[in-house]
Chain A
Amino acid sequence: MAVFQLPEWAALAPALILAGTALVLFLFDSINPRSTNRPLLAGTAVAGSLASLAVAVWFTAAGVGATGIENYGVVDVMNGQFIVDRLALYFMIIISIVTALVAVASYDYLRDHTYQAEYYSLVVLAATGMSMIAASNSLVTIFIALELTSLPSYALVAILKDNRGSVEAGLKYFLIGALSSAIFVYGISLVYGATGSLQLEAIAANLGAAGEMGGLLGLGILMLVGGVAFKTASVPFHFWAPEAYEGAPAPISAFLSSASKAAGFVLAFRVFTTAFPLEATTAVIGVDWTVAFVILAIVTMTLGNFAAATQENVKRMLAYSSIGHAGYVLIGLAALSTEAGDLVMGAAMMHLLVYGFMNTGAFLFVALAEYWGVGPTFADYNGLSKQAPFASAAMAVFMFSLAGVPPFGGFWSKYLLYTETVNAAADNTVLLVLAAALVVNSALSLYYYSRLVKALWIEEPILDRDRLTQPTGLYAAIIAAAVMTVVILPAFDPIATAALEAAAAVVG
């Protein structure tokens, strides 16, 4: 037994540590507003995110959030407004890993940048918001955390003030973000109108009381789906992603496409399972909401992959590929109508973690290329392996892993997602279409991923380059992400267990 009982809010430590780090960075900024002490600023951000990661891993290992353990178990904070369970901790781990990688890489990327402290504090602040989303258990706290994530993200996309593309991307991202926030909050109001509650368990308990307001509730749920689609860059609110990722500094693209997407998914996983249990909700609104996700998943993955195949710009290709991957993860929600739904959702979560390494790594390689002054198109990347074999090898690992080719981590999670979907299809044959779409899209995606490998390794450079420097921070982040992408395959057991427990925390 514990010698000394921590207060309940201490369970939110992974998020609180990030918040504290952001404040410390603000403090540095107010003491020395034009500080270019890069080691100190980047070091603080990295230390903060690693501390957050360590605490989240420690909590998971110690059994915090696990069901059936006394003293620890699932921790309710503020009367169920926040909840720390396996799901929350799992996503806090993903978010802090991505934040750490991005902060390490930014050390070199921002070498000539004026607003160093602002940048890092905004990154950590957005990460705080994402961690809070993972633990939020009420539509109010979810909305607040969502805004805490979004506002710094808008600023980060536009932080290259002198770069027209960056500012334009920031504005587009902001406008679409504001619209989707409005839709989301309107959805919340409709749900509140129908059920009279905002706390997720209370909504579920009051679903029966909605009575003839089922249509209203259904509309509210649809609007919440819209909000999720924006955050995860899924159809129909996906079109901001290519613009924002292309214009933003590449480490921020990595951050948004990996961590922000994961945050959007944890929101969806929690809200739709806890607040709108399938049978009770279907009884009230008359429609099975998983159908919406079946359609969204197929459309999102197909659209993302086809659009990615036609791109000439590497960053845009990665942006569309990130939309495609959102489609794969949506299968986790689409399969909830079946008995094996928790396994499919667990596999989707595993994919998000692997994605956190391989996609972040891929965008960080683009950051490295931008650092070297390499142009944006495939042709500009031609022959980079001659000057930078290690970074190019890492990028090949990311590309093959994203395509789901063994022996990399991306194969593991796609394999499990596929087999579990086929398994679940025994109850609902529609899922067989999803499984087929997953395989066909994966096979197709190999085309454009291998195109980048071909550019790096096989094509001859179109112009002579000088020797390329080897920035320590970017290299460290890329190599670390590549090593993890490879090591995850043999060491998948703990991750699979954590993800399955996370799914079990919300799917009965």
Chain B
Amino acid sequence: MELGFLLGSVVKIVAVLGWLYGLLQVMAHASRWVKIAGIVIAFGIIQIAFSLRIGNQAILNDFDAGLLFQACTMAMVALGLNLIYGFNGQFSLGQWGFYGLGAYAAAYVTYKWFNDRTSSALFVLLIGVVLAGLVILGLRRFLGRYYNLPVLSAFTLYLIGSAAAAAVAVFAGNGIASIVDPLFGTKEAPGLLSSDVALQVVFLLAVICAGIFAAEVSFLFGLPVLSLGSDYFGIATLGFSIVINTLMVNSDTILPFPEMKGGRGMIGIPKLTTWFWVFAFLLLVIVIMRNVIHSSVGRAILSVREDETAAKAMGIDVAGNKLLAFVIGSLFAGLGGGIYAHYIGFLSPGTFSFLAGFNPLIVVVFGGLGSMTGTLAASFGWMFFLEGLLRVLLGQLGTEAPTWRFVLYPIALLLLMLLRPQGLLGKTEWGFLRAPQVKPRPPANPTSDARPAASIAPAAR
């Protein structure tokens, strides 16, 4: 029985990695229809594996499904971290904090909608996210007129603007909610908003808003902190994780969210995450990530990692690109958090403790800094191998198994750092994630150079 289980686990790991390889290969195909067909088939294979049974056991049972879902969220979070750390060279330990922020924000919205039958949280978050985004973009445009602007002044202005947006959002959101809420109907006669379709839409909105919320927080936090230099940035982001975790533990006392129940953990989150949503968001993250990396923005981000001084000399806005990478990475973390919260249905601050926050870092380092394929493969391999296989193996040892796992991680990390610092996969990229082959352009029209030249002018800090 044990041997069979082990063999099955290894087969599953290989199969999932093969599935990933196939998905990425087919997405690189030139024909759009082949791409779409391939994605649908990749989705379908897993969906069928959930329901297809051999004997009395599903090919992928609930435990495997859990591992798969968590591997996908881990992949999102770790891809974000790889963008920040691997591609942009900013050593961040705050990724887990943004993950938790996204998880709690999304969970709170659907919790209020599903259990308390009120849309106030949704509207407050939605309006707040949109308004704060507009304020930040507008301020950025306005402050673009100045050079040598002190970071602290810019931060103060953004902070005041975002706080004002939040205040307006709370006021307006509750106002709109009081108008809309009667549509929920009563228990006996459910209204329009009580339907399952509405719940799915709210879930989608909640996850996206949570992602953007995390991104906006990361903008406000990153603006002053990214100017500190990489070591200090690491400590400051670690501090961010710790502060976020402290706020989670005290969410019902310091923060006015009694539903989050502080350190006892938030229960009763509707479990809305299905394979469809996980797959869709993972695909979204992969596509955004790949397109960012292989664009001019991505090259600017890479150049900041290689040499800040040289990048600045080439006219690249170093501070702006650091901030951009940090914000996009946090967006991914927030999305992953929203997905995770609705899969697990229970959020406790312990999940987001800063010790667990080293997990995405370990995944990124194992997969290889600056390798998207490596991060994806490491996320899946990590979940299935360490969480699945190793947990069962170590379970034979008795109650100390979880501690042993955490003894083995750092040893593996140390050995990796000493023996293969570029990560297991180095810089290999699979299929879709490889740099696209660009056809040589026709000879440029000399007058058409005017536009790109103007847009290179340094942007706002």
To the question of whether A and B form a pair in one complex, the answer is no
Where the two chains meet, the residues of A that have a C-beta atom closer than 8 Å to any C-beta of B are: none
B interface, CB within 8 angstroms of A? none
